[in-house]
């Protein structure tokens, strides 16, 4: 599915985030920034040791990365020039600020990309894997934040959501239709 939002192309696809050719990809990292499972492990494996070395430098300089925040490294061997690492919330039933933390994670990534002059970015579905955030809820939060951000601060040519299954893609398409009133194309 793709649609134009002002000057920004919003695209949702099923695929592998490690092979995207956007300027930056987003890593759903853990607070330690040392790699892990899921998207995090895949990005570290595909990007090679340079990403981990830069993450170690960031960790030595500032400590653990709090949920809702983001940092940036180069892309190592990836097609993307940069990796923006963010930590989403672990789902605890919805009463511990998880929605706001997830919104903050997306906002932090977009802000960091904008500060660096990055014009195209690919996101995974942050926190919906091993952190168990409900996909439908996460999709609405992610898409609202992207819609609000690019509407208020133009500069992105493309924001892409690279989703790991047909079911997650359908959830994102349904959320987009709910938010905008526009059916997926």
User: Per residue of the chain (185 residues), what is the pLDDT tens digit?
Assistant: 999 998 999 999 999 999 999 999 999 999 999 988 889 999 999 999 999 999 999 999 999 999 999 999 999 999 999 999 999 999 999 999 999 999 999 999 999 999 999 999 999 999 999 999 999 999 999 999 999 999 988 789 999 999 999 999 999 999 999 999 876 56
Spell 47-85 as b/e; 16+ CB within 10 A means b.
Answer: beeebbebbeeebeeeeebebbbbbbbebbebebebbbb
| End-to-end Cα, the chain, rounded Å | 5
Q: Are 55 and 30 in contact (CB under 8 A)?
A: no
pLDDT for residue 173: 96
Q: Where are the alpha helices (DSSP H) in the chain?
A: 38-47, 49-62, 98-115, 135-152, 166-180
For tokens 């992207």, the residue is 146
Query: Tell me: the pLDDT tens digits for 147-164?
Result: 999 998 878 999 999 999
Under DSSP, is residue 79 helix (H, G, I), strand (E, B) or coil? coil
Strands 8-14 and 2-5: antiparallel
Backbone angles phi, psi at 106, to 5 degrees: -65, -45
The one catalytic residue among 40, 99, 136, 148: 40
Backbone angles phi, psi at 134, to 5 degrees: -60, 130
Q: Is 40 a catalytic residue?
A: yes
- List residues bridging with 82 in a β-sheet: 24, 74
Tell me 77's DSSP state. Answer: T
């Amino acid at each position: 599915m793709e649609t134009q939002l002002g000057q920004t192309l919003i695209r949702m696809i099923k695929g592998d985030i490690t092979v995207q050719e956007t300027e930056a990809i987003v890593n759903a990292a853990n607070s330690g920034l040392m790699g892990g499972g899921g998207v995090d492990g895949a990005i570290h494996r595909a990007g090679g040791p340079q990403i981990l070395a830069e993450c170690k430098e960031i960790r030595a300089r500032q400590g653990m990365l709090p949920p809702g925040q983001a940092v940036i490294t180069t892309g190592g061997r990836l097609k993307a020039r940069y990796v923006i690492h963010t930590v989403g919330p672990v789902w605890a039933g919805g009463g511990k600020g998880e929605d706001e933390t997830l919104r903050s994670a997306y906002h932090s990534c977009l802000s960091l990309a904008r500060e660096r002059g990055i014009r195209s970015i690919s996101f995974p579905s942050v926190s919906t894997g091993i952190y168990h955030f409900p996909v439908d809820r996460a999709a609405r939060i992610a898409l609202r934040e992207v819609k609000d951000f690019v509407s208020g601060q133009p500069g992105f040519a493309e924001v892409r959501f690279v989703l790991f299954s047909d079911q997650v893609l359908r959830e994102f398409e349904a959320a987009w239709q709910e938010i905008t009133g526009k059916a997926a194309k």
